[in-house]
Structure 1
Amino acid sequence: MARGRKIYEGKAKILYEGPEPGTIIQYFKDDATANNAEKRAVLDGKGVLNNRISELIFTRLAGIGLPTHFIKRLNMREQLIKQAEIIPLEVVCRNVAAGSIAKRLGLEEGTQLPRSLIEFYYKKDELGDPLVTEEHIGAFNWASPQEVDDMISMTLRINDFLAGMFAAIGIKLIDFKVEYGRHFEGDTVRVILADEISPDCCRLWDMETNEKMDKDRFRRDMGGITEAYSEVARRLGIIKENEAGSGADIVSIGGDK
């Protein structure tokens, strides 16, 4: 499927005009960044793995009735998605203390939180994506009260689904980040899940060993990043048993080859 002109290039993906009005082609890069892109690397095969993992998760979420931008996978690095106006907020759901919340609140990493917590961050790289409250969101009109309610409700549904899905394959869902967009259909506007869900935006720990299987391996110079992502894909059934650790020979699960 032919791409149109490039619309946007971010740290991990490139967006192109799609073949039909209202569609976009999303390309997954191998670039890895951390600390607001101060740390960078190219990890061969990471984009392929994230494309396939995100495809699987978005397909399963659509299966439980959650609205998403995903239409279909086009090839190993590209997806066809619905055009949406991205809401300038990152929505983080936390189940276990890790990363910034552990530092901010003086919690030991790995502490189970009293309940799942939802946090909002303003999407602004030059400001370091600061933590914001619902008061900020309303005051600066980043999202309406109904949109905030929709994002919270959808994020909690996603959390319940992902926690069960990953627990079934021996992985603990520590936290994750999602983004939402406004999808316009005629006179109606609907909040839909956008961006991606992959080890780039989730903290995933092995349930037996607590070994990190996510982007923290890159942030903390632990090495073995694509191997960890490949292991997540293997457990999800996306790559063959004997290919875990290489990111190669990914088998088809839904979508077109």
Structure 2
Amino acid sequence: MARRKKIYEGKAKILYEGPEPGTLVQYFKDDATAFNAEKHDVVDGKGVLNNRLSEYFMTGLNNIGVPTHFLRRINMREQLIKSVEIIPLEIVVRNVAAGSISKRLGLDEGSPLPRPIVEFYFKDDGLGDPMVSEEHILAFGWASQQDLDDIVALALRVNDFMSGIMMGVGIRLVDFKIEVGRIWEGDFMRLVVADEISPDSCRLWDVSTGQKLDKDVFRRDLGNLADAYTEVARRLGVLPRNTASVGKPTLIN
């Protein structure tokens, strides 16, 4: 079999040239990073879980009419996605004060926010992904005003969907990050949710106990990251409920 062409490698994923024009293969690694990769480890099975969980969320969004780049899962670690032009922004939606917003505004972690807050960060690891305003985005041409309006609408729809799904299994969606890409169809352009949606890109707290079930487990040395992600997958039905927490989980097709 011919060696695949690598298009891009990030901290948690690798993109390969896809089997058809306009497609890519997205491979999920077991690497766990925090603090702009200053903290790094390899967590056995993490890529498998994130691949399956991202498939679950992206499929759900596609089914309710929120467009994504996801086409189908190929195997335990890979999925077929549409090739998109990524807008160089990370879009964060916050429902509860946690992380950087608590530090910036002096809010107690866990304080409910008055409404979902959408923030923008410029995608540049070398700069630490700095927070930017709509004025910066428009001035530097990263997106148009119409793009921004559409991005906010997409992000809030994702928030509604994810909040409901998570609350149904006893998990509070504290915040999450998405990326958005442009797909061109002739002269027509549309925006789609891209990258991934997984516990790597969300803060997830157990509703009853406040237990963290996301990457903060790794950031703050709160336990085993694979155990936390396995619990999320189990509650959502991605894993059988009687499955023991293991490094290489058996997933439901």
Verify: 1:219 aligned to 2:219, yes or no: yes
Q: Report the counterpart of residue 55 of structure 2 in structure 1.
A: 55
Q: How does 1:1-257 map to 2 (within 5 A)?
A: 4-246=4-246, 247-252=248-253
Q: Extract unaligned runs of 5+ from structure 2.
A: none
Range with greater deviation from structure 2 (175-184 or 235-244): 235-244
* Displacement after TM superposition at 1:168 (Å): 0.3
Runs (4 or more) in structure 1 with deviation over 2 Å come to 1-4
* Displacement after TM superposition at 1:244 (Å): 4.4
Decide whether the 8 Å contact of 1:47 with 1:77 is kept in 2. yes
Aligned-partner residue type, residue 143 of structure 2: A
Q: Using a 3 Å threshold, how does the CA distance of structure 1 residues 244 and 114 change in structure 2: closer, same or farther? A: farther
Give distance in 1, aligned partners of 2:2 and 2:164: 37
Give distance in 2, aligned partners of 1:4 and 1:83: 16
Give distance in 2, aligned partners of 1:6 and 1:57: 25
Q: Using a 3 Å threshold, how does the CA distance of structure 1 residues 244 and 197 change in structure 2: closer, same or farther? A: farther
Aligned-partner residue type, residue 95 of structure 2: N
Give distance in 2, aligned partners of 1:41 and 1:2: 31
Aligned-partner residue type, residue 150 of structure 1: D
Q: Using a 3 Å threshold, how does the CA distance of structure 1 residues 53 and 76 change in structure 2: closer, same or farther? A: same
Decide whether the 8 Å contact of 1:231 with 1:244 is kept in 2. no
Give distance in 2, aligned partners of 1:4 and 1:39: 29
- Aligned-residue identity in percent: 64
Give distance in 2, aligned partners of 1:78 and 1:171: 26
Q: Report the counterpart of residue 255 of structure 1 in structure 2.
A: none
1:51-87 Cα distance to aligned partner (Å, 9 max, x none): 0000000000001101110000000000000000100
* Displacement after TM superposition at 1:3 (Å): 6.8
SS at match of 1:21: coil
SS at match of 2:242: helix
* Displacement after TM superposition at 1:4 (Å): 3.1
* Displacement after TM superposition at 1:222 (Å): 1.2
SS at match of 1:126: helix
* Displacement after TM superposition at 1:2 (Å): 7.2
1:158-201 Cα distance to aligned partner (Å, 9 max, x none): 10111011000000000000000011112211111000000000
SS at match of 2:67: coil
